[in-house]
């Protein structure tokens, strides 16, 4: 058997695949962030909290209302998205004319509030959420045992990411969005309701986070702090991909998941930091990120 | 002048109140723990409830001891914890600090308590250094420590045939200590350690590390981590069919609340060591019932039970010493045997180690659980002398003299 | 970002450029008032608490020097604060350095680190600048986590001796230490005040407001940016090293990214681009953490609410609002 740096290739395949699975979470989350940043110019620090809310809404649906995973997969993003719309309407929109910094600080404050409230109500050890029975079990791929649910995560996130990319880059609605990003005043003058577009975009970005939350619920514990540390990593992903670039966010999300996965084999202690190292390197060489257009 | 007022005051006092209350002692106890983070459920407000119950059960007021309990959140950060501890001792007249989970914070509070010559009864922290290298005449380590956990889970699993181990170790001092202590026990009992992987702390995805553990073909995967890390690694081990594949998981630090968070479906079969379980005997059941009523229906963890037991013993010592003078109370606490409904009879050793039996539990299958919080079945009892590090091996300077 | 920032902060730097006689007199009065307050404080309040406020105030002042007057938003200032506190704690504990030397060495290392990181980061602007500083700070965090022999891992460096000042005066007593910290704090504040009002500071403000214009006038913008970055890092280091001696502890909290967030919060609450704002901000935030500690999990909620209120209603910060009311830069 060949060995690559002491690791049998089979094991490496397994790790690469796992990296891709983690990458799917990065991809959906950074996609949401990128969409929001692209149109609102706001770094949405609440993203982690909204991801957590998605998981919690799924848990509540199951435990209070008896609604199963599949319905929650639609319902949770909708509910959290509506909350997002309210936040945008009543708070964020009032900061639209100001510096990025204030949007970041506002959403940071909101994240603290949301996480604190959930912690008060549900404690911090987390709540159990079972894998839906249709996806229980797994397949032995020869080089590793792949749980069905993880396979589903990759597929679901790929579909969602590509669909989002298609809508924004290839449809009329997406064209409006991009126009509003480039020049809101002019777009408004053409009779397009830009504030509404902005609000809905924020709602959509947030719904993506909630969707990732529901996906995560069965494999990670449903925990009020689950998004708090993730958010910093996802920021890095967005920055590396290029702020506001849709495809950049998707590709970088999967790519960095992969790199992180491989790091977990060779130098596990550094796997939480490798993304930041890459971020510094990329920003020094390509300041606007891998896929960003220079400002 | 001052003396005169004092004299006058005490004369007045003697005239006004009944003789029994004349020697009124008022103590202030601070419960310092995690109220918002990882360990908030296993300590948190529950520990405050437990401390209050100790005051009630001791009937402190009738015995002329006035007790005030305050609490604060140390956020698992040594700097926050030491700031609060310092201020409590300097400013707020706190006499004793209770609980303090998170080893790093416990070590800091241990240090300040010694410096300020007050008392610290630790229930929440794991590090065996509190009664080892860092031991102090002012600290009692009440509930458990890494040595006892390793001894319980490690020793028992090797005896049951789990003689090759692979560790998933949270990459910080506590995780390393847990791994070190357990590995020592495993090798001592004739087992082998095949490897270990250091996982960034805190982490969410452990699948990659679990696959490495799987590839090692070790019979036992030791989880040298805590809180959310443990929960996630157990959950994901189930998902990747690791337990189904014949490898066993050993949770080196798992609390009742963690099992509650995991659900029995996922946690079943897990072997763990605890100092207290609510469903052990009639007394623990009765007490836990009362506790649950006062704490939103949740059953107590061993940490919360330890706070109760420690507070009770402290009050007994204050009563016996007839003062709250640190040296006198500490001497009484080490001299008097401990006895309470939760931990039974025990003692406090010279190095500050509270001695009691530890229990090895296995988490029940969902079908075996008859009521909410009915999670454990007892596999073995570890007598105190076996569970805790013998004084002969102690690194504590207090022992050597 | 530089342009946008200055536009948002009407009370800040813009007006400060025209320092009138009256303003100077007002500032002198504030300095004297502050000095008296600092001198009296330990008799009224808990000295350790006031020392904590002063350390964080100095940290926030250093941060504000960079953001408010240099127009550079660093999201990684914890690196300098934390690394300095490690160096100061380590040298005091393991090499037996006297406190002033330990603090000095911490400050120096922070300045050096600032020079290295700064020269990387100033090549980029706006949000990218912020992100590079964050990434570099994360690496410092990783380094601290991975070298327990130096940093003590998550236990931190505990029981650091307060030692004897110049090898003579014991600082074990809170009051003695207090006045040392007070002198450091006042000296730091005066230094920053001098920097802001020096020709160097004026050029920095000019670069902040319009970099191409400043370059066209013949100023080498990057040199000024780097200089202000290094100064800010070193002063943050001064605050960090002092904190390590005060609390006899250096820990991972000091290098964690949430510390970088906290200093932004302090500066924002107090008033971005005002001289005295960061002090007020540090006082507010530190007291909040102190007196709300018993609220447990509600602390974060309260903190979040204050954040939101500040951003929505008091963007100029407390001092910024006062400054506008009295129509004088503060």
Q: What are the tokens at B70? A: 């305050």
**Residue C325: its pLDDT value, please?**
87
A136 CA to chain B: closest CA distance, Å?
8
Position A244 scores a pLDDT of 75
Q: How confident is the model over A33-87, as pLDDT tens digits?
A: 988 988 888 889 899 999 999 999 999 999 999 999 999 999 999 999 999 999 9
Q: Which of B105, B123, B39 is nearest to B314 (CA)?
A: B123
- C300 chain-B contacts, CB cut-off 8 A: 36
Q: Is the pLDDT of residue C260 over 60?
A: yes
The verdict on B266 and B364 lying in the same domain is: yes
Q: What is the pLDDT of residues B389-398, one digit of tens each?
A: 999 988 899 8
| Across A7-16, B198-207, B318-327, C34-43, least confident range | A7-16
Q: Which residues in B lie closer than 8 A to residue C152 (C-beta atoms)?
A: 173
In-domain check, residue B31: yes
Model pLDDT for residues A207-220, shown as the tens digit of each residue: 999 999 999 999 88
Contacts for A247 with CB less than 8 Å, ≥ 6 apart: A165, A169, A291
Q: State the best of A231, A274, A280 to mutate against chain C, taking most chain C CBs within 10 Å.
A: A280
* Residue B65 predicted with pLDDT over 70: yes
pLDDT, one tens digit per residue, over A232-270 is: 889 889 888 887 788 889 999 999 999 998 888 888 888
Choice among B170-179, B189-198, C77-86 with the minimum mean pLDDT: B170-179
Q: Does C254 sit within 8 Å of B87, measured CB to CB? A: no
Q: What CATH number does residue B294 fall under? A: 3.40.50.2300
State the Cα–Cα distance between residues C217 and C32, nearest whole angstrom: 38
Backbone angles phi, psi at C68, to 5 degrees: -70, -35
SS (H, E, C) A176-226: HHHHHHHCHHHHHHCCCCHHHHHHHHHHHHHHHHHHHHHHHCCCCCECCCC
Chain centroid to CA A90: 23
Q: What is the pLDDT of residue A189?
A: 87
Q: Is A192 on the interface with C (CB under 8 A)?
A: no
DSSP-H helix ranges across chain C? 2-8, 13-16, 21-44, 47-64, 78-94, 99-121, 126-146, 148-151, 174-197, 199-209, 211-216, 221-247, 257-270, 277-291, 298-313, 317-325
Say if residue B70 is in the same domain as residue B210: no
Q: Mean pLDDT lowest for which of A255-264, B177-186, C115-124, C299-308? A: C299-308
DSSP 8-class letter at A143:
S
- Mean pLDDT score, B125-137: 91
Q: Is B120 helix (H, G, I), strand (E, B) or coil?
A: strand
- Provide mean pLDDT across the span A90-117: 86
- Please give the residue of chain A at the shortest CA–CA distance from C140: A273
Average pLDDT over every residue of C188-203: 93
Instruction: Look at residue B7 and tell me whether its pLDDT is greater than 50.
Output: no
pLDDT of residue A1: 37
- Longest CA pairwise span in chain C (Å): 56
Choice between A6 and A210, residue whose per-residue pLDDT is larger = A210
Q: What range does the domain containing B375 cover?
A: 148-274+358-383
Confidence of residue B359 (pLDDT cuts 50, 70, 90): very high
Q: Choose the mutation target among A7, A56, A124 for the interface with B, i.e. most B CBs under 10 Å.
A: A124
Residue range A267-276: average pLDDT? Answer: 83
pLDDT exceeds 80 at position C182: yes
The reported pLDDT for the residue numbered C225 is 93
Residue of C nearest to A237 (CA): C131
Residues B255 and B367 in one domain: yes
Total structural domains in chain B? 2
pLDDT(A125) > 90: no
Average pLDDT, chain A: 87
From the list C148, C159, C294, the residue facing B71 with the nearest CB is: C294
Query: What pLDDT sits at residue B15?
Result: 45
Q: Are strands B344-348 and B354-355 parallel, antiparallel or unpaired?
A: antiparallel
Comparing B80-94, B100-114, B178-192, B196-210, the range with the smallest average pLDDT is B196-210
Is residue C192's pLDDT more than 90? yes
Same domain, B183 and B50: no
How far is the C-alpha of B387 from the C-alpha of B358, rounded, in Å? 6
Which parts of A242-289 fold into alpha helices (H)? 246-266, 274-285
Residues A129-162: tens digit of each pLDDT: 888 988 888 888 877 788 899 999 999 999 999 9
B159 plus B104 within the same structural domain: no
Q: Which two tokens stand for residue C231?
A: 């100064």
**From A219, A221, A269, residue closest to B198, measured CB to CB:** A269
Q: Does residue A10 surpass a pLDDT of 70?
A: no
Residue C267 reports pLDDT greater than 70:
yes
Give per-residue pLDDT as tens, C25-63. Answer: 898 999 999 999 999 988 888 888 999 999 999 999 999
Which residue of chain B is at minimal alpha-carbon distance from C151?
B173
Asked if residue C327 has pLDDT above 50, the reply is yes
Q: Write down the pLDDT at residue A117.
A: 92
Which residues make Cβ contacts (< 8 Å) with residue B306, sequence separation at least 6? B123, B124, B142, B143, B144, B275, B276, B343
3-state SS, B173-210, equals: HHHHHHHHHHHHHHHHCCCEEEEEEEECCCCCCCHHHH
Q: Is residue C12 scored above 80 in pLDDT? A: no
Could you tell me if B138 and B194 lie in one domain?
no
B229 and B376 belong to one structural domain: yes
Shortest distance, CA B61 to any CA of chain A (angstroms): 32
What pLDDT score was predicted for residue A138?
84
Per the CB < 8 Å rule, is A105 touching C132?
no
Residue B399 within a domain = no
The three-class DSSP label of residue B252 is coil
For residue B394, tell me if it sits in a domain: no
Q: Output the pLDDT for position B22.
A: 47
User: Pick from C294, C81, C155, C244: which is nearest to B111 by CA?
Assistant: C155
- Chain A nearest-CA distance from C127, in A, is 8
CATH topology of domain A9-285: ABC transporter involved in vitamin B12 uptake, BtuC (1.10.3470)
How much is the pLDDT for C227? 94
Mean pLDDT of chain C: 87
pLDDT score, position A204: 94
CA A135 – CA A25 distance, rounded (Å): 18
Of C124, C261, C312, the CB nearest to A287: C124
- The pLDDT assigned to C1 comes to 38
B318 domain-assigned: yes
pLDDT of amino acid A27: 94
C296 vs B36: CB contact, 8 Å cut-off?
Answer: yes
pLDDT in tens, B89-98: 998 999 999 9
- By a Cβ cutoff of 8 Å, what residues of chain B touch chain C? 35-36, 40, 44-45, 70-73, 77-80, 82-84, 86-87, 90-91, 103-104, 107-108, 111, 171-174, 201
Q: Can you list the domains of chain C with their CATH numbers?
A: 2-325 (1.10.3470)
Q: How does residue B221 score in pLDDT terms, banded at 50, 70 and 90?
A: very high
Contact present, B77 and C254 (Cβ < 8 Å): no
Rounded to whole angstroms, how far apart are CA atoms B221 and B205?
16
- Closest residue by Cα to residue B48 from C297, A171, A176: C297
Clarify whether residues B370 and B255 are in a common domain.
Answer: yes
Asked if C22 contacts B67 with a C-beta cutoff of 8 angstroms, the reply is: no
Query: Contact, A56 vs A50, CB < 8 A?
Result: no
Return the pLDDT at B196: 93
What is the pLDDT, as a whole number, of residue B71? Answer: 92
pLDDT average, residue stretch B70-78: 88
pLDDT value at residue A123: 77
A168-192 pLDDT tens trace: 888 998 888 888 877 888 888 888 8
- Taking the CA of residue C53 and the nearest CA in chain B, the distance in Å comes to 12
> Residue C107: exposed, middle, or buried by beta-carbon count in 10 A (0-12, 13-18, 19+)?
buried
Note whether C253 contacts B80, CB cutoff 8 Å.
yes
> In angstroms, what separates the C-alpha of B204 from chain C's closest C-alpha?
17
Q: How would residue C88 be classed by pLDDT, with cut points 50, 70 and 90?
A: very high
Q: Which residues contact residue C240 at a Cβ distance below 8 angstroms, ignoring those fewer than 6 apart?
A: C55, C59, C80, C81, C82, C83, C84, C85, C88, C106, C110, C254
Query: Which positions 163-182 of C are in contact with B (Cβ < 8 Å)?
Result: 174
Confidence of residue B357 (pLDDT cuts 50, 70, 90): very high
Picking from B279, B278, B221, B210, the residue whose alpha carbon sits closest to that of residue B252 is B221
What is the CA angle B173-B179-B185, rounded to 5? 135
**Confidence at residue C128, expressed as pLDDT on a 0 to 100 scale:** 78
User: Quick one: DSSP state of residue B371?
Assistant: S
C249 and B CB contact within 8 Å: yes
Mean pLDDT, residues C68-86? 93
* pLDDT tens string C110-127: 999 999 999 988 888 877
> Domain for residue B14, yes or no?
no
Pick from C269, C232, C224, C208: nearest CA to C69: C208
Task: Report angle CA A290, A293, A295 to the nearest 5 degrees.
Answer: 125
Burial class (CB in 10 A: 0-12, 13-18, 19+), A142: exposed
* A290 has a chain C CB within 8 A of its CB: no
Whether the Cβ atoms of residue C75 and residue A101 lie closer than 8 Å to each other? no
- The per-residue b/e assignment along C230-262, b for 16 or more CB within 10 angstroms, e otherwise, is bbbbbbbbbbbbbbbbbbbbbbbbbbbbebbbb
Average pLDDT over residues B210-226: 90
Is the residue at B397 inside a domain?
no
Average pLDDT over residues B218-229: 90
Cβ–Cβ below 8 Å for B77 and C251: yes
What is the pLDDT of chain B when averaged over all its residues?
89
Q: How far C277 CA sits from the closest chain B CA (Å)? A: 24
- Segment C303-329 shows an average pLDDT of 86
CA distance B134 to C126: 48
For residue C108, what pLDDT band results from cuts at 50, 70 and 90?
A: very high
Q: Note whether B38 contacts A: Cβ–Cβ < 8 A.
A: yes
Q: Which residues of C touch A (CB under 8 A)?
A: 1, 4-5, 7-8, 73, 120, 123-124, 126-128, 131-132, 134-136, 138-139, 141-142, 146, 257, 261, 264-265, 268, 297-301, 303-308, 310-312, 315
Contacts 24+ apart (CB under 8 A), C209-214: C209/C2, C209/C3, C209/C6, C209/C13, C209/C14, C209/C71, C210/C3, C211/C2
pLDDT surpassing 50 at residue B3: no
Contact criterion met (CB < 8 Å) for A223 and B228: yes
* Same-domain check for residues B134 and B156: no
C256 Cβ contact partners less than 8 Å away, ≥ 6 residues apart: C78, C82, C141
- Is B29 in the same domain as B113? yes
Cβ within 8 Å, pair C303-A108: no
Looking at residue C6, its pLDDT comes to: 40
Q: Same domain, yes or no, for B226 and B332?
A: no
Domain co-membership, B164 together with B264: yes
Structure confidence at residue B8 (pLDDT): 47
Please give the pLDDT value at position A7. Answer: 60
Q: Where are the domains of chain A?
A: 9-285
CA distance C152 to chain B (A): 8
In percent, the amount of chain A with pLDDT more than 90 equals 39
The predicted-structure confidence for B285-301, as pLDDT tens digits, reads as follows: 999 999 999 998 999 99
* pLDDT in the model for residue B9: 47
Q: Looking at residue B55, what is its pLDDT?
A: 94
| CA of A195 vs chain C CAs: smallest distance (Å) | 19
Q: How far apart, in whole angstroms, are the C-alpha atoms of residue C97 and residue C77?
A: 25
């Amino acid at each position: 058997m060949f060995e690559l740096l002491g690791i049998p290739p089979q094991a490496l395949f397994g790790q690469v695949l796992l990296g891709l699975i983690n990458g799917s979470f990065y991809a959906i989350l950074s996609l949401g962030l990128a969409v929001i940043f692209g149109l609102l110019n706001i770094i949405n620090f609440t993203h982690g909290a909204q991801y957590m809310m998605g998981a919690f809404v799924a848990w509540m649906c199951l435990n209070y209302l008896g609604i199963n995973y599949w319905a929650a997969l639609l319902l949770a993003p909708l509910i959290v998205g509506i909350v997002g719309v309210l936040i945008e309407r009543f708070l964020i929109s009032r900061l639209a004319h100001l510096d990025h910094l204030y949007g970041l600080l506002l959403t940071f404050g909101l994240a603290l509030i949301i996480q604190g409230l959930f912690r008060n109500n549900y404690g911090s050890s987390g709540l159990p959420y079972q894998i839906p029975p249709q996806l229980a079990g797994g397949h032995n791929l020869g080089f590793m045992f792949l749980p069905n649910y993880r396979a589903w995560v990759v597929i679901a996130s790929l579909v969602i990411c590509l669909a989002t990319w298609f809508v924004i880059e290839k449809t009329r609605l997406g064209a409006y969005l991009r126009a509003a990003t480039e020049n809101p005043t002019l777009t408004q003058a053409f009779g397009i309701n830009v504030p509404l577009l902005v609000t809905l975009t924020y709602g959509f970005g947030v719904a993506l986070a909630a969707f990732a939350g529901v996906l995560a619920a069965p494999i990670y514990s449903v925990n009020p702090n689950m998004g708090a540390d993730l958010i910093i990593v996802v920021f890095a992903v967005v920055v590396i991909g290029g702020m506001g670039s849709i495809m950049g966010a998707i590709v970088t999300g999967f790519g960095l998941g992969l790199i992180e996965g491989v790091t977990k084999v060779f130098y596990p202690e550094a796997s939480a930091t490798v993304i930041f190292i890459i971020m510094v390197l990329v920003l020094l060489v390509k300041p606007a990120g891998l896929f960003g257009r220079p400002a | 002048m001052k003396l005169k007022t004092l004299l006058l005051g005490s004369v007045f006092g003697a005239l006004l109140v009944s003789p029994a209350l004349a020697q009124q002692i008022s103590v202030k106890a601070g419960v310092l723990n995690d109220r918002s983070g990882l360990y908030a459920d296993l300590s948190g407000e529950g520990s405050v409830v437990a401390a209050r119950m100790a005051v009630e059960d001791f009937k402190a007021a009738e015995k002329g001891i006035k007790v005030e309990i305050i609490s604060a959140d140390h956020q698992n950060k040594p700097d926050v914890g030491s700031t609060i501890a310092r201020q409590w001792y300097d400013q707020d007249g706190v006499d004793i600090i209770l609980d303090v989970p998170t080893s790093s914070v416990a070590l800091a509070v241990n240090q300040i308590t010694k410096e300020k010559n007050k008392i610290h009864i630790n229930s929440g922290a794991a590090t065996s250094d509190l009664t080892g290298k860092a031991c102090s005449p002012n600290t009692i380590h009440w509930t458990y420590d890494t040595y006892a956990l390793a001894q319980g889970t490690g020793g028992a699993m090797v005896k049951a045939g789990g003689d090759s181990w692979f560790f998933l170790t949270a990459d910080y001092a506590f995780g390393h200590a847990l791994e070190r202590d357990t590995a020592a026990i495993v090798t001592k009992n004739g087992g082998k350690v095949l490897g270990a992987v250091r996982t960034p702390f805190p982490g969410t995805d452990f699948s990659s590390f679990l696959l490495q553990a799987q590839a090692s073909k070790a019979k036992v995967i030791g989880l040298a981590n805590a809180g959310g890390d443990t929960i996630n690694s157990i959950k994901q081990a189930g998902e990747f069919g690791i337990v189904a594949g014949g490898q066993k998981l050993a949770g080196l630090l798992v609390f009742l609340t963690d099992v509650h968070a995991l659900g029995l479906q996922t946690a079943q079969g897990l072997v763990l060591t605890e100092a207290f379980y609510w469903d052990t005997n009639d007394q623990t059941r009765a007490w836990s019932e009362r506790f649950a009523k006062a704490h939103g229906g949740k059953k107590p963890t061993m940490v919360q039970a330890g706070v109760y037991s420690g507070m009770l013993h402290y009050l007994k010592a204050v009563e016996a010493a007839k003062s709250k003078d640190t040296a006198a109370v500490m001497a009484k606490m080490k001299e008097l045997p401990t006895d309470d409904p939760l931990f039974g009879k025990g003692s406090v050793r010279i190095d500050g180690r509270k001695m009691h039996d530890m229990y090895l539990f296995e988490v029940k299958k969902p079908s075996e659980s008859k009521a909410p919080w009915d999670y454990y079945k007892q596999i073995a009892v570890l007598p105190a002398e076996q569970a805790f590090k013998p004084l002969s091996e102690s690194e504590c300077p207090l022992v050597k003299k | 970002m530089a342009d946008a920032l200055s536009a948002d902060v009407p009370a800040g730097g813009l007006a400060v450029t025209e320092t009138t006689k009256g303003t100077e007199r007002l500032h002198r009065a504030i300095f004297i008032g502050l000095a008296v307050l600092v001198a009296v404080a330990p008799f009224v309040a808990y000295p350790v608490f006031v020392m904590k406020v002063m350390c964080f105030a100095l940290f926030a002042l250093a941060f504000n020097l960079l953001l408010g007057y240099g127009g550079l938003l660093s999201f990684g200032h914890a690196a300098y604060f934390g690394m300095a506190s490690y160096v100061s704690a380590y040298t005091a504990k393991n090499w037996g350095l006297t406190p002033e030397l330990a603090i000095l060495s911490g400050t120096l290392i922070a300045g050096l680190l600032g020079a290295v990181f700064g020269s990387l980061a100033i090549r980029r602007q706006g949000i990218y600048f912020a992100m590079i500083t964050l990434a570099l700070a994360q690496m410092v965090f990783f380094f601290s986590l991975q070298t327990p022999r130096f940093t003590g891992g998550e236990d931190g460096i505990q029981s650091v001796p307060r030692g004897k000042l110049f090898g003579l005066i014991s600082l074990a007593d809170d009051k003695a230490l207090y006045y040392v910290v007070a002198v450091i704090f006042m000296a730091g504040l005066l230094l920053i005040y001098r920097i802001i009002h020096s020709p160097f500071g004026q050029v920095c403000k000019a670069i902040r407001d319009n970099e191409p214009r400043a370059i066209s006038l013949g100023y080498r913008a990057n040199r000024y940016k780097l200089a202000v970055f290094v100064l800010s890092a070193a002063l943050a280091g001064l605050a960090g090293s002092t904190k390590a001696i005060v609390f006899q502890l250096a820990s991972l909290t000091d290098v964690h990214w949430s510390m970088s967030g906290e200093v932004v919060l302090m500066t924002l609450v107090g008033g971005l681009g005002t001289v005295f704002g960061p002090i007020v901000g540090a006082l507010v935030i530190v007291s909040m953490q102190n007196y709300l500690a018993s609220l447990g999990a509600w602390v974060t909620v309260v903190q979040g609410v204050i954040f939101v209120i500040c951003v929505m209603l008091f963007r100029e910060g407390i001092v910024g609002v006062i400054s506008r009311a009295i129509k004088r830069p503060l």
